[in-house]
Amino acid sequence: MSLGTVAVTGAAGTIGSVVREALRPDAARLVLLDRVPLRPEAGNEVVHTVDLRDAAAVESALAGADRVLHLGGVPDEAPLPDLLEANVLGTHHILEAARRTGIERVVLASSNRVTGFYPAGHLTGPREPVRPDGLYGVSKVAVEALGQLYADKFGLSVICLRIGSFEPAPTEPRHLATWLSPRDAIGFVRAALTAPSSTRFVTAYAVSANTRRFWELPDVTDLGYVPVDDAEVHAADVPGDLPDDPAAVQAGPYAEPGFTLRHLRP
């Protein structure tokens, strides 16, 4: 199906670059936003150099879009003021632009790190209370809350994807549970962009069909995509072993105090 005009923020990023190429054939127009300059690579691409903290620039760039895939922001642990500006305020500007310009679907990139303190032996679902493993996870909790607010209060159709470990192949033991392959990432994004317009708000884990995964796969009635890849295929090539303690936290090293302490005032 034609995707109409799709806007992608963070289009120069690791996931954005892969998704850009995959969506290009099916989009009437692909509007690409990033704070670093981009060049059009096809006749249906339009590029904008935009800082997501600039609400007016965001709204101007998104004008005329049918759907938005919001990938932009700080992608890992950082000082809280930086995360609030880039991730929370930036997302607010995206949602507000969608409300003001009549965009029908917003897909928000959340993260598995919103539930990183659940034990590895617990298959975690998207309706369970959040347990963020750091300040980055906290910022993504706020992103999801903003999406829920705009769905409930203003009637936007919002889908939050809690993205797993996006890599060409697993490279560390934790990835055997958390891996999101490029093929499955594209599948989840496409499903989120094209879910029925009656979908008001959905939160789903975007993770490959890993035998050892920590998270529930989305219900096909919420998001019509079933992942096809399994990190277990690569297990023999991954150095080390996945910790076998079911009480160990899912986030692994991300949950260690030192991971966050270096971003706090001494």
Q: How far apart (Å, rounded) are the C-alpha atoms in residues 1 and 235? A: 36
Catalytic, out of 118, 136, 205, 254 = 136
> CA-based Rg of the chain, rounded to a whole angstrom?
18
Contacts of 208 (CB under 8 A, 6+ apart): 164, 179, 180, 181, 184, 227, 228, 229, 230, 231
Residue 211 lies in a domain: yes
Residue 56 lies in a domain: yes
Half-sphere exposure (CA, 13 Å, Cβ side) for 69?
A: 31
pLDDT of residue 1: 63
Residue 266 lies in a domain: no
pTM of this structure: 0.97
Where in the sequence is the domain holding 75, given as residue range(s)? 5-261
Number of domains in the chain: 1
pLDDT of residue 239: 87
Residue 121 lies in a domain: yes
Phi–psi pair at 235, nearest 5 degrees: -55, -40
pLDDT of residue 244: 77
pLDDT of residue 242: 67
Is 136 labeled as catalytic in the residue annotation? yes
pLDDT of residue 223: 93
Q: Which residues of the chain have pLDDT under 50?
A: none
Residue 18 lies in a domain: yes
pLDDT of residue 218: 95
Q: Which helix (H) or strand (E) holds 257?
A: helix 257-261
pLDDT in tens, 246-257: 999 999 999 999
pLDDT of residue 243: 65
CATH number for the domain harbouring residue 230: 3.40.50.720
String of DSSP letters for 161-196: EEE-EE-SS--STTHHHHEE-HHHHHHHHHHHHHS-
Distances (CA, A) of 18 to 12, 57, 157: 9, 25, 24
